[in-house]
Amino acid sequence: MSANDLHHFIATLEADHELSRITAEVDPLLEIAAITDRVCKQQDGGRALLFEQPAGSTFPVATNLFGSEKRTCQALGVTTLGELTARMNALLGQIVELDVPTLDRQIAALPEFSRFAPHADMEPDPSLVGMNPPNLAHFPFLQSWPGDGEASGHQRYITLPQVFTCDPDGATPNCGLYRVQLRSGLEVAIQWKAGSGGARHAEQYRLAGKAMPVAIVLGGDPATLFSAMFPLPGDLDEITFAGFLRNSPLTTAPCRSIPLHVPTGVEVVIEGYVEPGETVMEGPFGNHTGFYSPAAPAALMRITAISHRLDAVIPATLVGPPPMEDCWMARAWERLLLAFLHRLVPEINDIHFPAEWIFHQSAIISLDNPQPGVVRNISGQLWALPWFRSARLLLFVTADTEPLTLSRSAWRGINMTDTNDIIHDQTTARIAIDATGSHMPRAAVHVSDATATLVAGRWKEYGLP
């Protein structure tokens, strides 16, 4: 079972020597981000950080919580991320024939999935107290990079917001991880991702001419945050999926001022409404590509209520030039996606999102016994899937005993290809490279097994470290 709330998770990390406490006063404007940037680029992602005295606030800030493979595993209650592939393989194995357009409904209909639907309480979470009057300025939300928010002069962002919405009929609940910019103590701008559940709901409310209720949640069980981050198929309920990840249903409670339910055991709940079609300029924002995304219109949310734990910790993350915390978190999705690919494209053996590529849906993919010409067909199949429609580069190699690293695959990409192995999608800038060598087989050089055994046995004799 995964950690059941943020406080429990932080305590687990500290007991495991995976957390550093910073007792000095530190500024949420740029300074916390700069410290986090240095730490998360250390070998294996560095430690999680708890800033106990952020300037101007009584609430501590936690960063880099999931910034290593070990901590990602701890967050999801697994020993290795490969366990996620196995669990998803077992779930999808109950579907006779996967159909991508209706995959969300196929999964939702499985008893083994639906049993993780959340339990709904009738009253708001009693562990949270209402802030009267509500004021976002009391929280130490971060400015990550110098140019953030320059267009409007609002530099602070909520960087790990779980944003809850539903359609006008109260159906198809959604929890997404979107960019949220503070504009005042009672207003934020939300940058929906195009095609996301939040964006679809906002358009439905706009067409209906109704204000859309929105809840922004911080903290809670880490499985909920991961579920919100994953590009799940269709309208698959993220909270039920979080229950599947943690192997136990979550409990939800009603908000105080809007008709939405959110998980219990969280740190902060921010409630409000988005008026139909009302937007403000948000950005620029230093994003996961390592460059600023330009300023663009975003939905304006007006706050109606805020509630929080008395000892709330504000979780935050930093995105920018890799490696970053989100690169480690994406490995969990990589392992889940592999299970989908095993069913949809059986020739695929494994997949790897290099940290330098992951946010362009680009991947290294290994194939079992590829035949000449098969990469062209498989790349077309993948480009048709929602998870690869924007993939700038797919690099295909043969499956072997070596891990799918960028270094090894780049070596194969140069040495096992010619001009005919570059597949260019005529309607986009998407490229696939066939580095399987299926049409020009070559024998790779290897130390013989006998010699490798001899050397291993005499290694101390050589006097080498």
Confidence of residue 442 (pLDDT cuts 50, 70, 90): low
**What are the sequence ranges of the domains in the chain?**
6-315, 345-434
Average pLDDT over residues 26-36: 95
| 133 prior amide bond cis, ω within 30 | yes
Q: By the 8 A CB rule, do 55 and 107 touch?
A: no
| 294 prior amide bond cis, ω within 30 | no
Average pLDDT over residues 65-83: 96
β-pair type (212-218, 268-282):
antiparallel
- Distance separating alpha carbons of residues 283 and 157, to the nearest angstrom: 10
What pLDDT digit, counting tens, does each position of 106-125 carry? 999 999 999 999 999 999 99
The pLDDT of residue 441: 67
Q: Is the pLDDT of residue 156 over 80?
A: yes
What pLDDT digit, counting tens, does each position of 404-421 carry? 888 878 877 777 777 778
The pLDDT of residue 339: 96
Average pLDDT over residues 382-403: 88
Q: Please determine whether the domains at 6-315 and 345-434 fall in the same fold group of CATH.
A: no
Average pLDDT over residues 422-435: 83
Confidence of residue 440 (pLDDT cuts 50, 70, 90): low
φ/ψ (deg, to 5) at 407: -60, -50
The pLDDT of residue 399: 87
β-pair type (251-254, 119-120):
parallel
Tokens of 362: 């680009």
Tell me the CATH number for domain 345-434.
Answer: 3.40.1670.10
Looking at every residue in the chain, the average pLDDT score rounds to 92
What pLDDT digit, counting tens, does each position of 234-283 carry? 999 999 999 999 999 999 999 999 999 999 999 999 999 999 989 999 99
Confidence of residue 356 (pLDDT cuts 50, 70, 90): confident
Confidence of residue 2 (pLDDT cuts 50, 70, 90): very low
Q: Is the pLDDT of residue 69 over 60?
A: yes
pLDDT above 70 as % of the chain: 98
pLDDT above 90 as % of the chain: 77
φ/ψ (deg, to 5) at 141: -70, 150
The pLDDT of residue 3: 55
The pLDDT of residue 1: 42
The pLDDT of residue 363: 92
Q: Is the pLDDT of residue 65 over 60?
A: yes
Average pLDDT over residues 287-293: 88
Confidence of residue 206 (pLDDT cuts 50, 70, 90): very high
Q: Is the pLDDT of residue 187 over 90?
A: yes
For domain 6-315, give the CATH superfamily.
Electron Transport, Fmn-binding Protein; Chain A (2.30.110.10)
- Type of residue numbered 34: A
Q: What is the pTM of this model?
A: 0.92
